[in-house]
Amino acid sequence: MNPRPTPSPFSPIAIGPLTLKNRFIKSATNEGMSAQGVPSKQLVKLHSALVAGGTAMTTVAYCAVSDDGRTLPNQLTLTPSSVPHFKALTDGVHQSGGLASAQITHGGCFTFIRERSTKRPLSASGGFNKIGLMSGMFLKQAMNEDDMQQVVSDFAQGARLARQAGFDAVEIHMGHGYLLSQFISPMYNKRRDQYGGSLENRLRFPRQVLRAVLDAVGKDMAVICKYSVTEGVRAGNSAEDGAQIARMLEEEGAHLLVLSAGMNAESITTMFGSSFPKENRVQQKNKIIALAMAIQRRKEPTVEFRELYLLEHARKVRAAVKMPLAYLGGAKSLASIEKIMAEGFDLVAMGRVLLAENDYVNKLESGASRDSICTACNRCVAMMYTPGGTSCVLGKPGDAVLNSQKAADR
């Protein structure tokens, strides 16, 4: 148990150079609200509504740092030409009283983009690419030193572009099976050089990325790392490994860690804490995505949702480091949030709950609500492929017209 006084979840907190008005962060979720690789007007509307509803900082997901770093064709990409559209989003968030974080990422071999600058998608190691079963790219390419330096430069430039676009923070995605996670995970990293083998070696390249981003923007922006504390499979990293990873990221100077879990291909229920029932899936017209969903449905056992499903793992990280930590995983009631605070976590990150009720934080603070209406049905995940983008099945669908319009277009 944490010996420090338990803070109110509605009290301010300093994260690097930032001060958040309370302890609530909208976690990064792929909303399917990008128009030709830039934010749509619907995305601006959603993130503005989230902070107007009380969330201190909202995270804009999957901002690729290069064209090769994209996982899907319309994915948000940080480029000089996209800055005005991202700026329209951050302006909307700031006008609504909150802060904005850009999640910067590179998919590595977890990609469905066939048009790329390399013959094969890059990863920690080469050889068979199991993700390629769904995209036709059956082989991946091990990165060399030049490739790594290019990606380090891409992340630093992505962070600078995020700063130019008005973001208050950047969140480096090191989890869920994307490129940096592919280096950290023993399932993907089979290298025999200084970037493979021990956990310390496997963190070497992700730490280089973190250091470059800190050097680029760390005095002006909060630099956050999101990673998988446990990968949820026997061959992957455990929570004990997750605690060691946290120590290394703290040593490198990260301002905040967001504690996620699981891998997209191997352990999606570890990430979401519950299964994706067939009856809660939308009909998917994209054949590749439909196949991916079908594979996940067959391979994953049925898991029933329980609140705070990742707390047991997150506690090991809390015991290992002193730095600020954001708990993520099944907080959907005031009682759960207060428990997180009492156990020494500094912030709570929420995804599905805030998609279900954009104003949930205001409802909590006013006493109008204690329990979220979210049922953890996970249909919001599949809804990102609908014309209006992500929405909760209990509410209205997204606006397809706004979702087709670029944020800065008039």
Q: How far apart are CA 39 and CA 19, in angstroms?
A: 25
pLDDT confidence band for 282 (50 / 70 / 90)? very low
Q: Is the pLDDT assigned to residue 293 strictly greater than 70?
A: no
Q: How far apart are CA 311 and CA 273, in angstroms?
A: 11
Beta strands in 79-153 (DSSP E): 99-105, 122-123, 127-128, 139-142
Helix pair angle (239-252, 311-320), 10° resolution: 40
pLDDT, residue 284, reads 47
Q: What tokens were used for 60? A: 């804009």
| 189-196 long-range contacts, CB within 8 A, separation 24+ | 189/124, 189/125, 190/124, 190/125, 190/127, 191/124, 191/125, 191/142, 195/124, 195/148, 196/124, 196/125
The domains located in the chain, with CATH, are 13-401 (3.20.20.70)
Beta strands in 80-157 (DSSP E): 99-105, 122-123, 127-128, 139-142
Question: Which is catalytic among the residues 62, 178, 360, 385?
Answer: 178
For 84, other C-beta atoms within 10 Å of its C-beta total 15
161-177 mean pLDDT: 98
Give pLDDT tens digits for 54-63.
999 999 999 9
DSSP SS3 for 138: coil
pLDDT, residue 280, reads 44
Q: pTM value?
A: 0.94
For 247, other C-beta atoms within 10 Å of its C-beta total 14
Q: How far apart are CA 171 and CA 169, in angstroms?
A: 7
On whether the CB atoms of residues 23 and 341 are closer than 8 A, the answer is yes
Annotation marks residue 385 as catalytic: no
For 82, residues 6+ apart whose C-beta sits below 8 A from its C-beta are: 37, 38, 76, 161, 165
For residue 258, the number of C-alpha atoms closer than 13 Å in the C-beta half-sphere is 32
Q: Which helix (H) or strand (E) holds 361?
A: helix 360-366
Give pLDDT tens digits for 67-119.
999 999 999 999 999 999 999 999 999 999 999 999 999 999 999 999 999 99
